[in-house]
Amino acid sequence: PVRIGLPAALQPILRVQSVAGTVYLLAHQPFEPTRVMVRAIESGAVYLLDLSADNKSAPTAAIQIFDPELEKSELSSDPVELSPTFPKYGYVALTRFAAQQLYAPARLLRDLPGVMRVPVRRAAIQLIHGGQVTAEPLVAWRAGNLYLTAVKLRNSTSQALTLDPRTLRGSWLTATFQHNRLHAAGDEADTTVVYLISARPFESAL
């Protein structure tokens, strides 16, 4: 386990979660390179990380930090389980989590250990047959071997529509609409979100 010391300037814009030795960082807006101190609670070792965020960088793989001194001490002791163990979540729990992330007040938001944000391309896609409803991915997560994606849907016609999961393109384990009826285009209720769970990343399942 580690303790992260965030400068005051980063606290409102950088979300930090530390779970079983893994640190998850989510920037809510771009920021310039800033030095952050990470301290290992058990050994007291201090690591200095220079963090920055922008809207242009391509998704990168997870960063692993190996401490030679720590590895030496581990080799001399009994073998331990190095990979963190996370609970497995059902479809209902994951769908509820996604809905809360989009609609709940910030003070009520809670992270789920082991559920991590993954990149998804925010561009118009052909998700629903018929061309009457436009679709755009908003955010995606991974939970073990499951992928959870929230997609914005908007009625592009002058008539109200009832959404039917059977018209969805792609291979989905579950599909849940926040609202299953869309008002005519231009109405404040012409938009909703569908939560999709798949066994593959969103682009591969589509």
Task: Tell me: do 69 and 116 sit in the same domain.
Answer: no
CA 114/CA 94 separation, integer angstroms: 11
Task: Tell me: do 70 and 99 sit in the same domain.
Answer: no
Task: Tell me: do 46 and 103 sit in the same domain.
Answer: no
CA geometry: angle 117, 123, 126, nearest 5 deg: 110
Task: Tell me: do 102 and 51 sit in the same domain.
Answer: no
Query: φ and ψ at 160, to 5 degrees?
Result: -65, 145
Show which of 75, 103, 119 is a domain's final residue.
75
Which CATH number does the domain housing residue 170 bear? 2.60.40
DSSP type of residue 139? E
Q: Which residues of 24-60 are buried (b: 16+ CB within 10 A; e: fewer)?
A: bbeeeeeeeeeebebeeeeeeeeeeeebebeeeeeee
Task: Tell me: do 31 and 100 sit in the same domain.
Answer: no
Residue 16 has what pLDDT? 78
Residue 83 covered by a domain: no
Query: φ and ψ at 122, to 5 degrees?
Result: -90, 85
Task: Tell me: do 71 and 112 sit in the same domain.
Answer: no
Residue 61 has what pLDDT? 58
What Cα–Cα distance (Å) separates residue 105 from each residue in 6, 43, 102, 140, 179?
23, 38, 9, 19, 19
Residue 82 has what pLDDT? 46
Residue 154 covered by a domain: yes
Task: Tell me: do 160 and 196 sit in the same domain.
Answer: yes
Entry pTM: 0.59
Task: Tell me: do 39 and 120 sit in the same domain.
Answer: no
CA 82/CA 62 separation, integer angstroms: 16
Give residue 113's domain range: 91-205
Q: Can you give the three-state secondary structure of 7-38, one letter per residue?
A: CCCCCCCEEEEEECCEEEEEECCCEEEEEEEE
Show which of 51, 75, 99 is a domain's final residue.
75
Beta-carbon contacts of residue 33 (< 8 Å; ≥ 6 apart): 50, 51, 52
Residue 26 covered by a domain: yes
Task: Tell me: do 199 and 104 sit in the same domain.
Answer: yes
Structural domains in the chain (count):
2
Residue 82 covered by a domain: no
Show which of 49, 75, 101 is a domain's final residue.
75
Residue 188 covered by a domain: yes
CA 114/CA 131 separation, integer angstroms: 36
Task: Tell me: do 113 and 171 sit in the same domain.
Answer: yes
Residues of the chain falling short of pLDDT 70:
1, 18-21, 43, 57-86
Residue 65 has what pLDDT? 66
For 148-205, how does the pLDDT look when each residue is reduced to its tens digit (9 = 90+)? 999 999 999 999 999 999 999 999 999 999 998 999 999 989 999 999 999 999 999 9
